[in-house]
Chains A and B, each alone.
Chain A
């Protein structure tokens, strides 16, 4: 569905994206994670044709973004925080404006979403709150029944109930109609319930891109309770992504299959050992940014 190769982008002298490469399979729910300024928004804008490419290639539906046909562009929806909406329009005018642009526009779904989001069709968009405007953007994005939805911080300003409904709606769409979703959000816990593919963007570089299942299969969280006075080696094993110590408790996020190094821990007198699945947040924190080393946590 999405294939990006050697994609670079710069604002003047500042490199925002540096040799990005990743793929999103059809029907995937792909979560792009990254800190502020990592380049997610620029990347999404490039994919949504909102910004012209500078270097490298980006393909949607097997076609370079800059060569997308109108029919292909009609199958893509893009929602972004801060995206400008025609503030002078009423919601009903907005729907009337969008509908002819998309042959697959679903007026019934638009009505359903309007009710679900508790939006007044007569209200002028400029008088809406930030959260309501985001709902309008989502309504327009979803009612066009797209094949690919690109969402940049779509949950901003939404109350919890609506966010849950939206998440369910997105999951339904992705599973029932094979819609591909590319999404970024700072709400990692929310994303974890949705995503089946994850990419991590760090300072314009792609740290990793793979399915969440594979990621979880590759990394595990080992919780240890040690004897007093345990001394960790100065040079932590390379397979240890992060180590946290709180009193006698030691928590290690490590690559699966690094038994030998785990046994090193065992040899130093571990009284209790527990292995569990790493959360997306833990993986993101461990995989993004510089190596963190040992983190001492006050008990």
Chain B
């Protein structure tokens, strides 16, 4: 039997042995993915449980698979068979990665394909979660290979990081991590960590390592890693990200909303924002509508944040110069005013937008009752209290934003999206912050490229009407939280409607 054949043989054995676990995990993953792609209504409760549950179950399955043939156990059945330790390790890796990594990645790919991402964009998007998942699973396999019982594994794998988190939290509060690193650095570090753990795992299998010394060394390594992540401060007062504030968004052009466009008449196009993929932290943000006329002309109408909005676009309920949709706005209408260039019938409407990913950590978590300035390497955030209006805060954000260009839109379109909210210790009291100008929905602040080097906005603090008076906690206890959404891909088609050609009016 060749080495490859032996690996395949062992894979078959493990798949047979753990078939119900693997089937259950796959079904759970598919269910979560389908819920993410198909559900139009947002209900973060079950999904918020499902994603961590998938992680815990995945790590547990990896441990069970490894512990069924522990490398250091001289009484293990495989140990005295003509089975190469590295073939055994390869088989375990194949099963663990084949089911616990590839299946969720395929699910993610399906979700993201719905946003029409290109292959290169998909790769760049899927690489970080792949590396992270691989690192966690390989670390779990390493711990499992050095422990013979599930309870010991759980104690080390979850107990040590929990202890470190508790210790770090007690000592300094929990800082955010990796915020000041660019993607390439983070990926390189992830790769290095993954490689290091993988080499250690290979050594354990080759040498049939066992005993307390190895386990103690691995435990120390885990603890040191957790400690390094948790106590490496890039900024003071930062915290890990809380619940998602995004509620987005597959834009759908309202059926039957389009009709003959008379010269000088108004045409209302409805854009429904629906659906989201909160557990994966991805959103689609519609930012323009492209309309093809029968006369061969194409016009693109921006939906937000442009300094030069075509005069043909007139929105309802928003300043003339700014038309926007928000993740929290479930329905939005805007009006097109016919121009000569468009004329006649409309045959095609496409909603274009960007795919964004919630940043892995809060950009800032700051007290609203005192001046606070934070830097995270590329953004400066300043929260100050406006004295004459005790209920008002001034939020300044300086961010060199990446330029975002949409085809067919000549204006500068770069922007970065932040979600802001005010959080009291009891999460039930969390409220989105309203912006007194450039208000985009309830909780999103859009910074157009014109404000590339800084933006200042005054935020109305919640008043009695936003929270019941008897429930309103002191402002001193609150924190302003700001989350940044990172652009993954732009100019994606989210929805497309081909319209039937109407007969021209005489």
Contact = CB atoms under 8 A, between A and B. Distances in A.
B407 interface: no
Nearest to A102: B82
B80 A97 contact: no
B427 interface: no
A76 B1 CA distance: 16
Given A100-B1, A101-B1, A51 B84 contact: no
Contact of B208 (A51, A82, A85, A97): A51
Given A74-B82, A78-B80, A100-B5, A50 B17 contact: no
Given A51-B208, A52-B207, A86-B17, A101 B76 contact: no
A45 B74 contact: yes
B74 A50 contact: yes
A89 B82 CA distance: 19
Contact of A97 (B5, B13, B74, B76): B13
Given A74-B82, A100-B9, A86 B77 contact: yes
B9 A83 contact: no
Interface string A74-98: 1010101011111011000100011
A73 B82 contact: yes
B75 interface: yes
Given A70-B82, A100-B1, A102-B82, A85 B74 contact: no
B17 A83 contact: no
A143 to B, nearest CB: 13
Chain A CB count within 10 A is highest, among B1, B13, B74, B83, for B74
A252 interface: no
A51 B79 CA distance: 8
Nearest to B87: A70
Contacts of A89: 17
B207 to A, nearest CB: 6
Nearest to A73: B82
Interface string B128-152: 0000000000000000000000000
B258 to A, nearest CB: 62
B1 A84 contact: no
Interface residues of A, number: 26
Contacts of B76: 50, 84
Contact of B82 (A82, A83, A101): A101
Nearest to A83: B75
A78 B82 CA distance: 11
Q: Is the interface of A mostly helix, strand, loop or mixed?
A: loop
Nearest to B80: A78
Chain A CB count within 10 A is highest, among B6, B79, B81, for B81
B73 interface: yes
A121 interface: no
A101 B83 contact: yes
Contacts of B80: 45, 48-50, 78, 80, 83
Nearest to B81: A101
Contact of B75 (A49, A80, A98): A80
A84 B75 contact: yes
B79 A50 contact: yes
B75 A82 contact: yes
A103 B82 CA distance: 11
Contacts of A93: 16
A84 B208 contact: no
Contacts of B208: 51-52
Contacts of A101: 1, 6, 9, 81-83
Interface in B206-241: 207-208
Nearest to B212: A12
A50 B75 contact: yes
Nearest to A85: B77
A93 B19 CA distance: 15
A97 B78 CA distance: 11
Nearest to A68: B82
Contacts of A50: 74-76, 79-80
Contact of A88 (B5, B6, B17): B17
Contacts of A78: 80
Contacts of B13: 86, 97
Interface string B364-404: 00000000000000000000000000000000000000000
B249 to A, nearest CB: 47
B13 to A, nearest CB: 6
A289 B79 CA distance: 32
Contacts of B5: 100
A151 B208 CA distance: 22
Contacts of A73: 81-82
A133 to B, nearest CB: 11
A82 B74 CA distance: 10
Contacts of B75: 50, 80, 82-84
Interface string A170-182: 0000000000000
A80 B79 CA distance: 12
B82 A51 contact: no
Nearest to A75: B82
Interface in A91-142: 93, 97-98, 100-103
Contacts of B207: 52
A252 to B, nearest CB: 42
Contacts of A97: 9, 13
B383 to A, nearest CB: 58
Contacts of A103: 1
Contacts of A84: 73, 75-77
A97 B91 CA distance: 15
Contacts of B68: 86
Nearest to A97: B13
Contacts of A86: 13, 17, 68, 77
A93 B77 CA distance: 14
Given A97-B13, A100-B5, A100-B9, A83 B81 contact: no
A288 B84 CA distance: 38
Pairs A-B, 8 closest by C-beta atoms: A78-B80, A73-B82, A50-B79, A48-B80, A50-B74, A50-B80, A51-B74, A74-B82
Given A70-B82, A86-B77, 11 more contacts: A45-B80, A48-B79, A50-B76, A50-B80, A73-B81, A74-B82, A76-B82, A83-B77, A83-B80, A88-B17, A100-B1
28 contacts: A48-B80, A49-B79, A49-B80, A50-B74, A50-B75, A51-B208, A52-B208, A70-B1, A70-B82, A70-B84, A73-B82, A76-B82, A78-B80, A83-B75, A83-B77, A84-B75, A84-B76, A85-B77, A86-B13, A97-B9, A98-B81, A100-B5, A100-B9, A101-B1, A101-B6, A101-B9, A101-B81, A102-B82
Interface of B: 1, 5-6, 9, 13, 16-17, 68, 73-77, 79-84, 207-208
